[in-house]
Amino acid sequence: MKLLPGGDKPKTPEARRRLVTIVLVAFVLGIFVIPSLFNAKSVKTLSYSALLRDARHHKVLNSTINSASGVITGSLTNGTNYSTNGPSPVIATDVSALQANNVTVTFSNTGSLFLSLLPYIIWIVLFAGFMVFLSRQAKGQMQGMMSVGRSKAKQFNQDRPKTTFADVAGYLGVKQEISEVVEFLKTPGRYAEIGALIPKGILLVGPPGTGKTMLARAVAGEAGVPFFSVSGSDFMEMFVGVGASRVRDLFATARKQAPAIVFIDEIDSIGRKRGAGVGGGHDEREQTLNQMLNEMDGFEPTEGIVVIAATNRPDVLDPALLRPGRFDRQIVVPLPDLDERLPILEVHSKNKPLDNSVSLEMVARGTPGMSGADLANLVNESALHAVRRNSTTIGMEDFESARDRVMMGQLRDTMILMDDERERIAFHESGHALLAYVLEKTDPLHKITIIPRGMALGVTMTLPEEDRHIMSRQHLEDSLCMRMGGRVAELLIYGDLSTGASDDLQRNTELAVRMVREWGMSKEIGPMAWGSNNQVFLGEDLMHQRDYSDHTSQVIDDEVERILREQESRAIEVLTLHRRGLESLTRALLEHETLDGETAAKLIDEAHGEPIHPEGTKTVRTLAGVGAASAASRRAAPVGPAVAPAPGWQPPSLPAV
């Protein structure tokens, strides 16, 4: 919206209607109120005979006689105004009598047809104005109904602030891939001379918050062309055919301003596979998709229109949408790695006062798996934490607290736990922490707390030393064993179980099922993958039949049970051998409520009598310690139990549940 020379925004039609209404109301009130203000002095009503009698007693000062209406007005000698209705036409003898008693008599003829009709004219004008207002309102509603098929795309042109690749931190490979579109829009002749065709459609695929929309706007900013932004849900309405009409209007508008970029966010809302839902082939979504396919086939690459779409679910898109000639190029925008998280943090903290102790490189190392939106939220949370502690700069402790809030949840320090619950939670979290420290392939231990955070009553936090893209079976098994630590610690100390391990058991079962069914990590199942990854909302799994036999299903169940029981027995064995460390860690947790990884490691090593990891501590104390483990420690040999089990020792059996 353009600004007026004074800096104000132009008035909208609703504002103008409100202004006209206020003016009309003020005008009507003025007609009836203002005259009454001028006639605020009291007026005494007299009869005609009383007026003549007062005149004989010299009580009347003057009289004004209206020849047309016979109304006589004037003032008495005591200063009071009076009014009376006299005869019409006026009686000459009465006028002579008034003059004989020293009454100043004047005549007026103010009566006119216009003044007598003025009240009626006012009401007629007001009624006509009201009818005009209603007709305009009805016309606007009709125009709104007729324009329901117009596109809701927002246009950003050169008048708006530009977003360039310099505003998008990291993602050098993605920028290089998408920069061809910029070159084509700037110099299409180079491509036409050699016969090269730029893709009509580019699909940006990646998790939420990775900056797909910003990348699309950066392409428009670099190329200096109009940018039309629309969401996939904007095409859908309750009226049949509206979506297809909006698609036609969008592409028609883009053709008029070519070269241009059309960006469709969340295209999976209209581009899902046809015929996969309950609506069959005639629902509104499929008609909208058909129109989009037709429009993308209807323009030539030389027209200079590039369609960029973004989605988090490319697997649900219709194959016709992804064929060559439409969205034939897919660019993956993944979660940023370590080298990309650092420039993202620098962009978001550019205008914030950072303390000299802050190392954004250490912050980047301690935030694996975070998207660009998560990192922006992390910087903002750290700034809020600095304000809460009345600091004028953002320090490393603020980033530490912000990361704990983002990854572990909000601190609920006002929640009151009973002593027996608090002790059980301490043993539970100590079991997780001890296994995270002792086992080789688990992520380094960062922090343990028994203060409720988010939905959890206690949290044991581990952080990976570096970005991990695949996981070995040993890493998965150590993760299963570590999650069993809380349940096993309660079993060893109390001899029974509680509900505190429900989330651990659910996550372990899901992981074990994937190990058996999808990743071929079972000798009994072998190198086969069973089960479908299709989502139920697509309609393909509503009547889906299991693609393996009952015997295979039983084997899968047996293998999942075997894996989980093996890791439970392994957790029982390790915690039994390190029971003194478990108890020492629990006592420290009950006293301090929160321990960092380095303190927990010292307690476990002291209870054990010697360092469990002699070549390097397997912990992460603070953000500054992330990634400090040496390559030698990462390649160290597997660490077995420090004390061999006693001859004939058997893991304690689980109580019947």
Amino acid at 401: S
Q: How many CB atoms lie within 10 A of CB 291?
A: 20
Q: Are strands 445-449 and 594-596 parallel, antiparallel or unpaired?
A: antiparallel
Q: 3-state DSSP call for residue 149?
A: coil
Residue with tokens 């009973």: 418
Instruction: Determine whether 429 is an active site residue.
Output: yes
The CB-side HSE value for 582 (13 A sphere, CA atoms) comes to 26
Hunting for tokens 């700069």 — which residue is that?
393
H helix runs in 307-442, sequence order: 319-322, 338-348, 360-365, 372-388, 396-408, 419-438
CA distances (Å), 597 to each of 103, 451, 620, 621, in order? 112, 16, 6, 5
CA dist., res. 198 & res. 177, Å (int): 12
Distance in angstroms (rounded) separating the CA atoms of residues 338 and 629:
16
Q: Please answer whether residues 252 and 163 qualify as being in contact, where contact means their C-beta atoms are separated by less than 8 angstroms.
A: no
- Main-chain phi, psi angles of 21, to 5 degrees: -65, -45
From residue 424, give the alpha-carbon distance in Å to each of 205, 239, 505: 45, 59, 17
List all residues 6 or more positions away from 275 whose beta carbon is below 8 Å from its beta carbon: 281, 286
Which uninterrupted H or E stretch holds 73?
strand 71-76
Given 429, 477, 559, 568, the catalytic residue: 429
CB 330 within 8 A of CB 310: no
Euclidean distance between CA atoms 568 and 561, whole angstroms: 10
Taking each helix axis from N to C end, the angle separating 284-297 and 242-256, rounded to the nearest 10 degrees, works out to 20
Q: Are 478 and 496 a contacting pair, CB within 8 Å?
A: no
CB 443 within 8 A of CB 462: yes
- For residues 202 and 181, what is the distance between their CA atoms, to the nearest angstrom? 9
CA 292 to CA 383: how far, in whole Å? Answer: 45
Residue 15's alpha-carbon distances to 2, 7, 109, 456, in angstroms, are 16, 17, 46, 51
Of 393, 514, 407, 400, the closest CA to residue 459 belongs to 407
Evaluate whether 365 touches 621 at the Cβ level (below 8 Å): no
**3-class DSSP state of 283:** coil
Sign of CA dihedral 325, 152, 309, 243: negative
Alpha-carbon distance values, 235 to 20, 250, 317, 537, 571 (Å): 36, 10, 16, 20, 54
Q: At a CB cut-off of 8 Å and minimum separation 6, what does 414 contact?
A: none
For 595-634, b/e burial (b = at least 16 CB within 10 A) is bbbbbbbbbbbebbeeebbeebbbbbbbbbbbbbbeeebe
How far apart are the C-alpha atoms of 477 and 567, rounded to whole Å? 7
Residues 6 or more apart whose CB falls under 8 angstroms from that of 168 comprise 175, 211, 214, 215, 218
Catalytic residues: 429
